[in-house]
Structure 1
Amino acid sequence: MSKRSGYLRGACVGLALLGASGAALAECSRSFVINQADWLPYMYRDAEGRRAGLDYELVKGILDQAGCDYEFVDYPSKRALVKLQEGTIDLLAGASVTPEREAYSRFTVPYRQERIVLLVRREDRDRLPTQELGTLIEDFNLVLGAIAGGYYGQAFDGLDRDVLMERDRLVMLNSNRQLLNLLTIGRIDAVVGDGVSLHVSAASLDLVDQVSVHGRFLNQDPVHLMLSKRTTSEQDLEMINQAIHEYTASEDYRALINRYQFEMVVEAIPSEEIENSYRVLGQ
């Protein structure tokens, strides 16, 4: 088994055993168009080009339980938000609730948790104190990197991103792997993102020994499915919420999350704080 497949094996477990107990009492209003971003280990394409990932399997399982038809398309995260607002995409996974998004989206109940961290070069972890993000940027002249279109908590949201980009202090790209390459060659100083995704992306590039999680994490929130108000109904939302409640109460869901998180604890980027966060994600 390759290193990459070893890190990702928990994310590729199928959810076909959900059963018929949660069958929807009504029909979905449409066949949903779902975006799959390049987001290891939640959504990605494997070596053979097949769709894979934890959220990919979770979304399929939830919508199968709700009795909905669906298809997947591929857009970068920022572009997918625009298409959801336009109504050419119906559903996004791994979404945090924000007032701006609530204007054009319906949010389901949570289906898992995420923790947003700051990843730095290994040699910089002890050099950079645990300070507020804005103070850290100014005091140490940091250049940050993040995936465009993501939500990373209030500390990041409160930054004047336009000014930082004009000053070449913020780089926004489409994938963690692009950002990690820039981090390790010294073009940026820190990457903001989901802790699990950053770890698996680093592992896929054989960069785990070169990076470390900074002591100050930025945000911890439940994540939701995000439905377009333009193309979906309140009944769709209720049906999917019912399916999420039933699935997340099942042993299949707990087994999948715990098995996946256990792998992250065993082989995680060294940091006691982030390792502890992995232990509670499935609880």
Structure 2
Amino acid sequence: MKFYFFLFIFNLIIIQPLFACDLTVRYEHFSPDQKSKKLQWYGMDVDLAKTLLDKTGCRYRFVDIPWGRAITLLKKGEIDMMLGVSKVSNRSQFSHFIGPYRQETIVLATLAAEAFFIEEIDELKKLDKPIAIQRGAFYGDEFETLLASDPYSDIHFVNIPSYDVKLYLLRNKRISGFFEEKSNVIFQAKHNPDFKDIVVNPFIIHSNPVYFAFSKSTVNDALIDKLRKSFYALKSEKMFETILKKYQ
């Protein structure tokens, strides 16, 4: 009997924590309307993340944090998970990646009344007003090269921490537009009054696959293995594909 008692205690103390899943997930809202009356988050990446975490049996809470700060917190282990993350080498040092789960297409969102066309990325620095970008976000090698070669990049591109500020600056004609995932702009324009009269510029800034990123400081290999198995099971069931179609 003592053997089984100690085996039970061992299971509680050692084994179960390996698979404990209680995660803090970073997400940035587009407007106050993006939380329902029950304070439940929704949106494309949120729906995809919920599906993965529910399948794995995880508990989770979403926190609204600007992108640049969230990357730092993920590295420190002060948040556990981020959504829609590009898999670049420096992030692999502190992140587990699961995916990819969708293709990200970054475009320029502008006011319909002030829409314009560009044919080359270099034209962005020739606009009358700056472009709003997110600190710490990856917009592709071509844009990184543009920033590095532009001595006036701080004037042509401004780091804005939140969508509320971006929308305010755009509507008051202080910026030419802001970078955003194409499907987000299209979906918000249909369902969010704050995005009324905001359109997608046809020029594609960057496109690449994106992943769920988990902090190596707080999410152990055993849990990553469970999450990865859930991911491939959901993928084979075409669950992610079904969710993505809702936002197209």
- Long gaps (5+) in structure 2: 1-15
1:64 counterpart = 2:64: no
Greater fraction of residues in strand = 2
Secondary structure of 1:257's counterpart equals helix
Report what 2:235 is aligned to. 248
Q: 1:108–1:225: 8 Å Cα contact kept in structure 2?
A: yes
CA deviations on 1:67-125 (whole Å, 9 max, x unpaired) are: 33434333222222111111111111111111221121111121222211112333544
CA deviations on 1:12-63 (whole Å, 9 max, x unpaired) are: xxxxxxxxxxxxxx9754434222322449x942255332223223222212
1:77 counterpart = 2:67: yes
Amino acid in the other structure paired with 1:194:
E
Query: Which of the pair has more CA radius of gyration?
Result: 2
Further displaced range: 138-147 or 179-188: 138-147
Report what 1:35 is aligned to. 25
1:237 counterpart = 2:224: yes
1:122 counterpart = 2:112: yes
Q: 2:186–2:200: 8 Å Cα contact kept in structure 1?
A: no
Amino acid in the other structure paired with 2:207:
Q
| Length, aligned pairs only | 230
User: What is the RMSD of the two structures over their aligned residues, measured on CA atoms?
Assistant: 2.9
Alignment partners' CA distance in 2, 1:51 and 1:207:
18
Q: Go from structure 1 to structure 2 and tell me whether the alpha carbon gap of 1:63 and 1:189 turns closer, same or farther (over 3 Å shift).
A: same
Secondary structure of 1:94's counterpart equals strand
TM-score by length of 1: 0.70
Q: Go from structure 1 to structure 2 and tell me whether the alpha carbon gap of 1:181 and 1:91 turns closer, same or farther (over 3 Å shift).
A: same
Q: Among the aligned pairs, what percent are the same residue?
A: 24
Report what 1:278 is aligned to. none
Q: Go from structure 1 to structure 2 and tell me whether the alpha carbon gap of 1:138 and 1:222 turns closer, same or farther (over 3 Å shift).
A: closer
1:131 counterpart = 2:111: no
Alignment partners' CA distance in 2, 1:123 and 1:147:
24
Secondary structure of 2:107's counterpart equals strand
Report what 1:93 is aligned to. 83
1:187 counterpart = 2:174: yes
Secondary structure of 2:82's counterpart equals strand
TM-score by length of 2: 0.78
Alignment partners' CA distance in 2, 1:28 and 1:55:
26
Amino acid in the other structure paired with 1:171:
V
CA deviations on 1:210-239 (whole Å, 9 max, x unpaired) are: x33223201222211101112222332222
Q: Go from structure 1 to structure 2 and tell me whether the alpha carbon gap of 1:52 and 1:144 turns closer, same or farther (over 3 Å shift).
A: same
Q: 1:32–1:68: 8 Å Cα contact kept in structure 2?
A: yes
Secondary structure of 2:58's counterpart equals coil
Alignment partners' CA distance in 2, 1:178 and 1:155:
26
1:205 counterpart = 2:199: no
- Long gaps (5+) in structure 1: 1-25, 262-283
Give the CA deviation at 1:177. Answer: 4.1
Alignment partners' CA distance in 2, 1:218 and 1:106:
26
Amino acid in the other structure paired with 1:217:
I
Secondary structure of 1:88's counterpart equals coil
Q: 1:96–1:151: 8 Å Cα contact kept in structure 2?
A: yes
Give the CA deviation at 1:136. Answer: 0.6
Amino acid in the other structure paired with 2:102:
R
Q: Highest relative contact order (Cα 8 Å, sep 6+), 1 or 2?
A: 2
Give the CA deviation at 1:251. Answer: 4.4
Alignment partners' CA distance in 1, 2:110 and 2:43:
25
1:51 counterpart = 2:41: yes
Q: Go from structure 1 to structure 2 and tell me whether the alpha carbon gap of 1:200 and 1:164 turns closer, same or farther (over 3 Å shift).
A: farther
1:146 counterpart = 2:127: no
Amino acid in the other structure paired with 2:57:
G
Secondary structure of 1:129's counterpart equals coil
Report what 1:109 is aligned to. 99
Give the CA deviation at 1:165. Answer: 5.7
Secondary structure of 1:217's counterpart equals strand
